[in-house]
Structure 1
Amino acid sequence: MFGFQPTANAGSITKQLCSFLRDKIEKGALSPGLKLPPTRKAADELGIARNIVIEVYEQLAAEGYLTSKAGSGTYVSEGIEIRSRMKQPPTSYPIQPLSVIPARRMKVISFDTGTPDLSRFPRRVWNKCVREIIDSEPAEVFAYGDVQGTPALREAIARYLFRMKGITCDPGQIVITSGTSESFLLLAAAFSDRYRNVYVEEPTVEFVRDIFQKMKYSIVPVEVDDQGMDISRIERSAPSGLIVLTPSHQYPTGSILSIQRRQQAVALANKDGHYIIEDDYNSEFRHKGEPVPPLQLLAPSRVIYAGSFSKTLSPALRIGFLIVPPGLIELIVRTKTELNLTASSITQSALARFMMEGCFDRHIHKMRAVYKRKRLFLADQVRLLFGEHVEVAGDEAGMHVQLVFRQDRYGSIDWHGIEAFGAHFYTFDDYAVFKGRYPGKVVLGYGHLSEEEIAEGLQRIRKFTEVWKKGHPSSEEYQSFRSIPGATY
């Protein structure tokens, strides 16, 4: 098809065909309005599975390169500017020799898991929304605003949740916060006279434990496996409390809470008087299959749903929200009033307009394709660099992956010193109460990184593991690397 020839060791066929068609379209070789071959015919011509062609067409349609017309076919989209000069993005990254990286080139590549791709923030559209709010809204938009949140934003969120996740709630059940951390702080304060125990996933993000510890709760870690939190480990005689879950995409494991355990959690909450706090972490970005239904649908009266726009748009917005059961809304709003917690009225109003005009839906759709492409690229590079000795684990969602380094190959790697090799990431132990139970398990975030940075960062990690295998961090090569000026951080 159009002269496409796959190249060995250049990534998956899907990635190569996507790159090939993008390149042809951007150069004008495939003109706007050109009809592409049907998927079955294209697959026959290329000698590949039809599903691959379907996935490529869908990917490029999501990116705007192609347009599908029901009953007619797939066409090259209009309005794409033709490139005049050759673009040569690297499609594969050869394994670098195990030599020391000169200090002048050393810049730490951080596989931070909390930052989205900020380069793709829709600045022009967002600026338009903010400008319209400032120009047209009454003077009250510059005041502190409703402590529960701007009514327009609560209405927009309620509509979005019903449309995209099937959650039915009244805007009066929604409380706007400045992010997930404030949401948890608010809940910890609101329930402090009622509960003293909080059951948290083990491992999990440290701020969850930190917030409840500051509020003098007893923290009860509950082990997580590939089906999410093991609800059976919560003693039936245990005191009532709060159960904090990330059922759609647990961090850091990436696991999904199974339906069996969801039902167990709801039954436990109903029977023993617990409330479940559902942190809907990164649920918008599922890269395979359909989004996982929220736990809140099973028990609207026992589940407090926490969402945020930090990963979907930008952490700088400082906007999160809670869906609170009707019987608790008075308690939560009263506590928020007493703590004087408010979010920017201007930002809330701009976000409401951004959502009501469909901009948020379009942004999510675009970023889902971006993060899926990055995850596939990262997984391909891991296979290229480490082969079968490293597993990419967790559900195909979000902006992070779990890597498992096989102990029969690497032993119990001590990752201290990895930054001397120009990379930074966190291990499972960094998120665990009980240390030493997760040998070889690390978390890599890729949302904010380019493909070049992902590839280079993985090569640096491989360099570290090769030095480790030779003689651990006491080896002469490791010590010589650390002695390079500017190579330690």
Structure 2
Amino acid sequence: MVQYGEGSRRTGATRRIYHSLLNQIEAGVYGVGDALPSSRSLAEELGVSRTTVTAAFDQLVSEGYVRVQQGRKACVASAGRVSQIAPPDCSAIPARRLSAYATRAMALPPNSTAGRPPLKFDFRYGDIAAEDFPKAPWRKALNTAFLRHRDRLGYDDPAGSRSLREALQGYVWRSRGISCDLGQIIVVNGSQQALDLCARVLVNPGDGVVVEDPCYAMARNVMHAVGANIVAVPCGAHGIDTTRLPEVSDIAVAYVTPSHQFPLGGVLPAAHRQALMEWSMAANAYVIEDDYDSEYRYDVSPIPPLYLSGQGRVIYVGTVSKTLSPTLRLGYIILPHPLVEAFIECKRIADRHTSTFEQEALAALIETGAYERHVRRMRRLNAERRAVFLASMASAFVDHIEIVGTTAGLHVVVWFNTISCRQEARFADIARSHDIGIYPIARLFSSPSDERAGYIFGYASMSVDQLAKGVERLHRAYLGFIGEGGPPGGQGSDNGKISTVV
């Protein structure tokens, strides 16, 4: 019920009068058409102001129980609550069919851990340690954005605030060597919206879409949802195998992670990059470059983005989810000129624009240098985490594992030599029962590619102490899983095998 009155006392009296009159109407004390006491007489009888009684009458009128006519007393218009009316039987009415898009989306395998109870040692990739977030600089930047004088509050440019696009224009030049016009940059709600826009703008049902195998599941899913024909191209130690690209007919786009293949960690060599671009030109297809964690290179120099040799065929996707937080939902696309207008209009239809206040806060962080200082700090912290995690795994599991993709990013892939791929999900369940989160890699492949069980381990969300303890607990769970006797061959002093795929 809507509450009236200037204070809690008047509000309480209004509520009591409302319920009293409603109960009497429902009980039949006042039937339909019967006149109710006047507001003046009720006020005198109850010892309250007439305003209080009038407020109760107004609520009954607004809900349709009472009718008021000028010059006459209020009378009862309806005798029962809407909630007391039996709902119609809808079982015989056929449900309206879902759209083809919704049907395809609903058929996709579940890909989220949202809503699950938190784990003490969770190696989920994509999570960032809460204590790493630059709370004070972000709060200052956000407060400045909130307090900045505006003549009005209205819908903003779907391409993004000019201040953030200008800041990003400078940032991608400094960090990735990308030179682009301001108009080529569109701010999006994370890289996932960037991929969704690519699918909606460039892909029709039945079109071919090339993806890596294995592939980031949410990229593949967004293409499935629009009805694309997925063409999975195997990845080797150095990323996508360009010798196995499909025939050029009916291919709309290719989705790749050339600077750090997800999840295996390979880097696409120059010759393969050239081959990919030649293929895209022949196929008249665009290439989506997801540069999701380019800020994190440890043992090698930064890898130039594919965009630099893209000949106007590359759509570059960047995000701050791996540097600031995935909760912010801030990302950006750099587009070839012919695509800009279409992307802007589809972004406008999707959500008008990304949150302006958060865009301005991020712009301020970049403009003042605070963002890049934070990135350097994050690189140091995660290099420490990476070193502790790799050392702990090598010490605990010795030669019973192989780790790949260790030179960059915020995750690695661990292959367990003593666990078969058929036992992959089972061991993940056992680990969860020990309060440990590990995530099978099989779901990222179009078909099984290795007889061993493999898992993606993210290490950016825990402290170095937690990482070491988490590995120790995982090793205990592992010993129990493979048998009381321990791994074949027993413990030894040799280091575990670690592949530095770059």
Tell me what 2:167 maps to.
Answer: 156
Where 1:224 maps in the other structure, the secondary structure is: strand
Where 1:361 maps in the other structure, the secondary structure is: helix
Where 1:440 maps in the other structure, the secondary structure is: strand
Tell me what 1:331 maps to.
Answer: 342
Preserved contact between residue 315 and residue 335 of structure 2 (Cα < 8 Å): yes
Tell me what 2:324 maps to.
Answer: 313
Q: What is the number of equivalent residue pairs in this alignment? A: 365
Preserved contact between residue 205 and residue 227 of structure 2 (Cα < 8 Å): no
Preserved contact between residue 150 and residue 348 of structure 1 (Cα < 8 Å): yes
The separation in 1 between residues aligned to 2:119 and 2:444, in whole angstroms, is 25
Whether 1:457 and 2:470 are equivalent positions in the alignment is yes
Preserved contact between residue 300 and residue 325 of structure 1 (Cα < 8 Å): no
Tell me what 1:276 maps to.
Answer: 287
- Which ranges of structure 1 fall in alignment gaps of 5 or more residues? 1-105, 473-489
Tell me what 2:417 maps to.
Answer: 406
Name the stretch that deviates more: 113-122 or 195-204: 195-204
Whether 1:236 and 2:247 are equivalent positions in the alignment is yes
Deviations 1:266-312 (A, max 9, x none): 11011221100000011101111211110000014000000111111
Tell me what 2:357 maps to.
Answer: 346
Whether 1:189 and 2:200 are equivalent positions in the alignment is yes
Whether 1:217 and 2:228 are equivalent positions in the alignment is yes
How far residue 134 of structure 1 moved from its aligned partner, in angstroms, is 1.6
The separation in 2 between residues aligned to 1:268 and 1:315, in whole angstroms, is 34
**What are the residue-to-residue correspondences of 1:7-156 with 2, within 5 Å?**
107-140=119-152, 142-156=153-167
Amino acid at match of 2:373: R
Residues 325 and 107 (structure 1), Cα distance of their counterparts in 2 relative to 1, 3 Å cut: closer
Amino acid at match of 1:197: G
Tell me what 2:392 maps to.
Answer: 381
How far residue 437 of structure 1 moved from its aligned partner, in angstroms, is 3.3
How far residue 237 of structure 1 moved from its aligned partner, in angstroms, is 4.3
The separation in 2 between residues aligned to 1:452 and 1:143, in whole angstroms, is 47
How far residue 195 of structure 1 moved from its aligned partner, in angstroms, is 7.6
Whether 1:294 and 2:311 are equivalent positions in the alignment is no
Residues 139 and 403 (structure 1), Cα distance of their counterparts in 2 relative to 1, 3 Å cut: farther
The separation in 2 between residues aligned to 1:128 and 1:113, in whole angstroms, is 29
Name the stretch that deviates more: 154-163 or 186-195: 186-195
Residues 169 and 300 (structure 1), Cα distance of their counterparts in 2 relative to 1, 3 Å cut: farther
Amino acid at match of 2:276: A
Amino acid at match of 1:311: K
Match of 2:237 among 197, 215, 226: 226
Whether 1:447 and 2:460 are equivalent positions in the alignment is yes
How far residue 463 of structure 1 moved from its aligned partner, in angstroms, is 1.6
Residues 253 and 298 (structure 1), Cα distance of their counterparts in 2 relative to 1, 3 Å cut: same
The separation in 2 between residues aligned to 1:172 and 1:403, in whole angstroms, is 42
Preserved contact between residue 155 and residue 352 of structure 2 (Cα < 8 Å): no
Residues 333 and 379 (structure 1), Cα distance of their counterparts in 2 relative to 1, 3 Å cut: same
How far residue 194 of structure 1 moved from its aligned partner, in angstroms, is 9.4
Preserved contact between residue 202 and residue 221 of structure 1 (Cα < 8 Å): yes
Tell me what 2:441 maps to.
Answer: 428
Tell me what 2:16 maps to.
Answer: none
Where 2:233 maps in the other structure, the secondary structure is: strand
Amino acid at match of 2:433: A
The separation in 2 between residues aligned to 1:268 and 1:448, in whole angstroms, is 39
Preserved contact between residue 142 and residue 361 of structure 2 (Cα < 8 Å): yes
How far residue 374 of structure 1 moved from its aligned partner, in angstroms, is 0.5
Preserved contact between residue 420 and residue 451 of structure 2 (Cα < 8 Å): no
Residues 153 and 383 (structure 1), Cα distance of their counterparts in 2 relative to 1, 3 Å cut: same
How far residue 107 of structure 1 moved from its aligned partner, in angstroms, is 5.0
| Bigger Rg, which one | 2
The separation in 2 between residues aligned to 1:400 and 1:191, in whole angstroms, is 31
How far residue 436 of structure 1 moved from its aligned partner, in angstroms, is 5.8
Name the stretch that deviates more: 383-392 or 283-292: 383-392
Tell me what 1:169 maps to.
Answer: 180
The separation in 1 between residues aligned to 2:240 and 2:449, in whole angstroms, is 19
Preserved contact between residue 154 and residue 174 of structure 1 (Cα < 8 Å): yes
The separation in 2 between residues aligned to 1:388 and 1:329, in whole angstroms, is 51
The separation in 1 between residues aligned to 2:119 and 2:202, in whole angstroms, is 45
Tell me what 2:270 maps to.
Answer: 259
Amino acid at match of 1:420: S
The separation in 2 between residues aligned to 1:433 and 1:349, in whole angstroms, is 41
How far residue 118 of structure 1 moved from its aligned partner, in angstroms, is 2.3
The separation in 2 between residues aligned to 1:110 and 1:364, in whole angstroms, is 23
Preserved contact between residue 116 and residue 399 of structure 1 (Cα < 8 Å): no
- Which ranges of structure 2 fall in alignment gaps of 5 or more residues? 1-117, 486-502
Residues 371 and 139 (structure 1), Cα distance of their counterparts in 2 relative to 1, 3 Å cut: farther
Where 2:483 maps in the other structure, the secondary structure is: helix
Residues 430 and 194 (structure 1), Cα distance of their counterparts in 2 relative to 1, 3 Å cut: closer
Amino acid at match of 1:383: A
Tell me what 1:482 maps to.
Answer: none
Tell me what 1:45 maps to.
Answer: none
Name the stretch that deviates more: 417-426 or 347-356: 417-426
TM-score (norm 2): 0.69
Preserved contact between residue 208 and residue 230 of structure 2 (Cα < 8 Å): yes
Preserved contact between residue 422 and residue 457 of structure 1 (Cα < 8 Å): no
Preserved contact between residue 123 and residue 438 of structure 2 (Cα < 8 Å): yes
Residues 421 and 405 (structure 1), Cα distance of their counterparts in 2 relative to 1, 3 Å cut: same
